[in-house]
């Protein structure tokens, strides 16, 4: 157990639908990162939050949004889902973006859009 | 932005040393270089992190040249359980455009 908790582990939904993925960071970690991993794209950085505020943005689609709450958990919202959104979505956390500690990843949410 | 590139795959035999290189031409000035190991359907697992020169821990060494545009992960005496995909991770860009970029990944297969 890495200390980063992601729910649900698996999600199957239809095209056009909306889903929410949840991440609880490791205790004491203020920064949360979201990544998407699909077969043909590798690990793609989506977005980072630090202590509730957006810090960096990667290749996140406009149909996707995220937020980090006061208790530091984060949610990734995916809407108007398409078949190509099927992927593993990972959350990672670390204490502070500027520190020497590496990221700790959760076990991911596998999203299947049918 | 240039891609952060790695060899697609490598084969090695048990007990050998394996070196995997990552090219990251656009690394941010103040960011670290981190390497991860990933098994199928699992999240990446931290191996080692460094900023420059050489870093060693109980499982690996990381070599970073002075220009920091590449890095080499060294795994001493690999075993079958080291069969996995290895990724480098760097930060690229400046404030406002900062992104965290994983390398393309190297699939290491350790043979008996």
Tens of pLDDT along chain B (112 residues) come to: 457 899 999 999 999 999 999 998 878 777 889 999 999 888 999 999 998 889 999 999 999 999 999 999 999 999 999 999 999 998 776 665 667 788 999 999 999 9
Q: Is B26 near chain A, with CB under 8 Å?
A: no
pLDDT in tens, A11-52: 999 999 999 999 999 998 999 999 999 876 788 989 999 999
Using the beta-carbon criterion (under 8 Å), do B102 and A42 form an inter-chain contact?
yes
**pLDDT at res. A86:** 96
Give residue for tokens 């203020």: A30
Choose the mutation target among A5, A26, A39, A43 for the interface with B, i.e. most B CBs under 10 Å.
Answer: A43
B89: left (phi over 0), alpha (psi -120 to 50) or beta: beta
Q: Which residue has the higher pLDDT, A96 or B4?
A: B4
Contact list, B46 vs chain A (CB under 8 Å)? 102-104
Question: What is the spatial distance between Cα B15 and Cα B13, in angstroms, rounded to a whole number?
Answer: 6
Question: What is the spatial distance between Cα B24 and Cα B28, in angstroms, rounded to a whole number?
Answer: 10
A65, A34 contact by CB (below 8 A): no
A16, A35 contact by CB (below 8 A): no
């Amino acid at each position: 157990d890495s200390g980063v908790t992601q729910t649900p582990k698996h999600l199957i939904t239809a095209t056009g639908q909306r889903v929410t993925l949840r991440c609880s960071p490791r205790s004491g970690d203020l920064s949360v990162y979201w990544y998407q991993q699909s077969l043909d794209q590798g690990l793609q950085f989506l977005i980072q939050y630090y202590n509730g505020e957006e810090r960096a943005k990667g290749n996140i689609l406009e149909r996707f949004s995220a937020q980090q709450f006061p208790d530091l958990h984060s949610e990734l919202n995916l809407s108007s889902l398409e078949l190509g959104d099927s992927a593993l979505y990972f959350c990672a956390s670390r204490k502070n973006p500027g520190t020497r500690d590496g990221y700790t990843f959760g076990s991911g949410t596998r999203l299947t859009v049918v | 932005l240039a891609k952060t590139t790695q060899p697609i795959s490598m084969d090695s035999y048990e007990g050998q040393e394996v070196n995997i290189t990552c090219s990251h031409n656009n690394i941010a000035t103040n960011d670290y270089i981190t390497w991860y190991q990933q098994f199928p359907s699992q999240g990446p697992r931290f191996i080692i992190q460094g900023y420059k020169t050489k870093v060693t821990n109980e499982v690996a060494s990381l070599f970073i040249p002075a220009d920091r545009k590449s890095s080499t992960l060294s795994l001493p005496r690999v075993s079958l359980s080291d069969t996995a995909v290895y990724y480098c991770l760097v930060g690229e860009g400046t404030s406002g455009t900062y992104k965290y970029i994983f390398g393309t990944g190297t699939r290491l297969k350790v043979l008996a």
